[in-house]
Amino acid sequence: MRPFEPTDLDAYTARIFGDAEVLRYLPKRDTPARERAQRTMDFFNDHWNQFPYAPWAIVEKASGELMGHCGLRFITEIRETEVLYALAKDFWGKGYATEAARASVEFGFAKVGLERIIALAVPENIASRRVMEHCGLVYEKDVQLFGLDCVYYALNRKT
């Protein structure tokens, strides 16, 4: 897991924002894939300037291939820190999202000193909900955010 680099744009566009299956449960946008990928990379890199955390690019160690993103971001609208993740289809089902999300949650509590981390998904995104549960997050409520009906999971820092 490392910050995004400008050279990630092609792979990030093709593997995440250019793949309808990956986008299936994410907020709908009219923005073209490449622009959406660039905006997201810019948003993540800018996030590092405002907070001691942000989502990383995740790269497969063996191949050096960009797999997607995972990490923490602050949601201004609800003033909570969210763990988020998206992987290219070729890398699904190998435990990578669980590994990356766990590392992000641990980083948030141990290194950043956060008090609470949440996660959001549309209810039918079972894979995402399993990742949250593997990280110890617990379902709290249903919410509407970014035009989506979402399930809201959370984990408080252990005292």
Ligand X SMILES: CC(C)(COP(=O)(O)OP(=O)(O)OC[C@H]1O[C@@H](n2cnc3c(N)ncnc32)[C@H](O)[C@@H]1OP(=O)(O)O)[C@@H](O)C(=O)NCCC(=O)NCCS
Which residues contribute to the site for ligand X (CB under 6 A)? 22, 25-26, 85-87, 92-98, 121, 125-128, 130-131
CB of 159 to ligand X, least distance (A): 28
Minimum separation from the CB atom of position 33 to ligand X (A): 14
- Using Cβ positions, the residue closest to ligand X within the complex turns out to be 97
Q: Which is nearer to ligand X, 114 or 131 (by Cβ)?
A: 131
Cβ-based nearer residue to ligand X, 41 or 87: 87
Reference 38, options 2, 6, 86; nearest CA is 6
In the complex, the smallest distance separating the C-beta of residue 88 from ligand X, rounded to whole angstroms, is: 8
- DSSP reduced 3-state for 31: coil
> Of the two residues 37 and 87, which places its CB atom closer to ligand X in the complex?
87
Q: Which is nearer to ligand X, 52 or 123 (CB)?
A: 123
Query: Cβ of 29: how many Cβ atoms within 10 Å?
Result: 12
Start-to-end C-alpha separation, the chain: 27
- Least separation in angstroms between residue 92's CB and ligand X is 4
How many C-alpha atoms does 77 have within 13 Å on its Cβ side?
6
Are the beta carbons of 103 and 1 closer than 8 angstroms?
Answer: yes
- Per DSSP, 14 falls in state I
